[in-house]
Structure 1
Amino acid sequence: MRMRRIGAGATLLACLAAPSHADGTLPELSPEELIELAKSTYRGESCWWERVEEDIGEIRSWEISFRYDYEEEDGPDRAVRLYQLPCFYGAYNFSSIWFMETELDGLGPVHFATPELDIDYADDESAVVEKLTVLGFTAVSSLFNAWYDEDTQTISSFSKWRGIADAASSGTWTFHDGRFVLTEYQADASYDGEINPVTVYKATRP
């Protein structure tokens, strides 16, 4: 019997057994178990847990089949279980947190590489961007207005910087070799009433 390896602090679920099914698929956590895991992993106030429990039907899960790059093409498929939970509810942004389980890494939270931007404006209204610089990359635990596309195996997000979304940022993370990697990120930093994003990062390979 294989035991689930989970993130630090999520001890309440450490004793839940997670053997693979006969066909190699991974068992699915119940929404109640997943909320318990999320609360143990994220102990702060970033998520509105009472609201999350009310919206338990909004929890999503998917199973992904893949092979690592070093494995033979005709070898057996490996299974990944991906989960999405609601977290924060705002006026025009909704955030979610993500968990993933693999045979090798066990069960734990997903963090997403994100560019750290430095923006200089040419006017007091922040309508004209004089300079936009990528200072580096950080990792975030939640994404705004995010969704998973099974056909492309991508997670995408769209964060509105204000309600009319003329200033916003969006990202795409593609499943590759057992992980989600950032493949594109766009930012529309000008509060000018128009939708005009620029690409600040794009992967050199798909």
Structure 2
Amino acid sequence: MRIQAIALLAILAATPSLADDLDAQAIHMFEAVYGSEQCPYYAQEKPSPTRREFQVEGYSEAVTVTTVEFDCALGAYNEVQAFLIHTEMDGLRPASFATPVLDIAYVETAENRDDPAVGPVESLDIVGYKAAATLINPSIDDATGQIVTEERWRGLGDANSSGVWDLTADGYVLRSYEVDATYDGEVDRVTVLDLGQEG
């Protein structure tokens, strides 16, 4: 039933005569897709979304891409946001973000036997990718729509990850990803993915 509702909302949003108010359509779609468990802050406070418009390169000409950002959850050191995107061709739809799935192994020593994660990293590998529906601590470039995240794995921020996604006419494209998997009091990320800039 939820899938049918989402599909119907997408059709309505893609029809100009039925979607004169993009903000209202975005709110209806967001509330149909994201529940209170995923976005508890929004469910309680109903903050107004942030709408931005960008001109990005299309296949033959520039395309207007509108993004609508919703605050989902607020933690002690991380904020979670969800995004909808709109183009004239594809209408309004939830954005998703390709995100690496990591396999991290730590060197076990006598000092960190009870908690190996506080030791040095033995290996750090990408074993796959997932489509994330939300981002943590995103910063949006007002000129290009590019998103950079700074996700803290704990409050100190020494263990963390950072991703870069470019906004295109087809949605967001992952460009790079950095990780500091050590809980050593220092911020020293390593690059695990670098696809360069869109050509």
TM-score norm. by structure 1 comes to 0.80
Contact 2:14-2:88 at 8 Å conserved across structures:
no
For residue 164 of structure 1, give the secondary structure of its aligned residue in structure 2. Answer: coil
Relative to total residues, which structure has the larger helix share, 1 or 2?
Answer: 2
Contact preservation (8 Å) 1:8, 1:41: no
Q: How does 1:10-49 map to 2 (within 5 A)?
A: 10=6, 11=8, 15=12, 19=16, 29-30=22-23, 33-43=25-35, 45-48=37-40, 49=42
Given that 1:52 and 1:87 are in contact with CA atoms closer than 8 Å, whether structure 2 keeps it comes out as: no
Percent identity reads 33
Aligned residues of 2:13 and 2:91 also touching (Cα < 8 A): no
State the Cα RMSD in Å.
2.5
Aligned to 2:185: 193
CA contact (8 A) 1:79 1:102 kept: yes
Report the residue type matching 1:87 in the other structure. C
Shift of the 19–140 alpha-carbon distance from structure 1 to 2, 3 Å rule, reads: same
Question: How far, CA to CA, are the matches of 2:126 and 2:9 in structure 1?
Answer: 40
Contact 2:140–2:148, Cα closer than 8 Å, also in 1 = yes
2:52 to 35, 55, 62: 62
Q: Where does residue 143 of structure 2 map in the other structure?
A: 151
What is the count of residue pairs matched by the alignment? 186
Matches of 1:67 and 1:86 in 2, distance apart? 28
- TM-aligned CA distance change 1:195 to 1:120, over 3 Å: same
Q: Is the 8 A contact 1:100 1:107 kept in 2?
A: yes
The residue type paired with residue 51 of structure 1 is Q
The 1:28/1:190 distance shift into structure 2, 3 A limit, reads farther
CA separation of 1:67/1:86 partners in 2, compared to 1, >3 Å: closer, same or farther?
same
In structure 2, how many angstroms separate the alpha carbons of the residues matched to 1:16 and 1:189?
A: 41
The answer to whether residue 123 in structure 2 is matched with residue 131 in structure 1 is yes
Q: Distance in 2 between matches of 1:111 and 1:158?
A: 17
Contact 2:101 2:130 in 1 (8 A): yes
| Unaligned runs of at least 5 residues, structure 2 | none
Unmatched tracts of structure 1, length 5 or more: 1-6, 21-25
In the alignment, residue 186 of structure 2 is paired with which amino acid? E
Match of 2:158 in 1: 166
* Superimposed CA distance per residue, residues 182-202 of structure 1 (whole angstroms, 9 cap, x where no aligned partner): 011111100000000011101
Distance 1:130 1:17 in 2: 49
Q: Quote the offset at 1:204 in angstroms.
A: 3.8
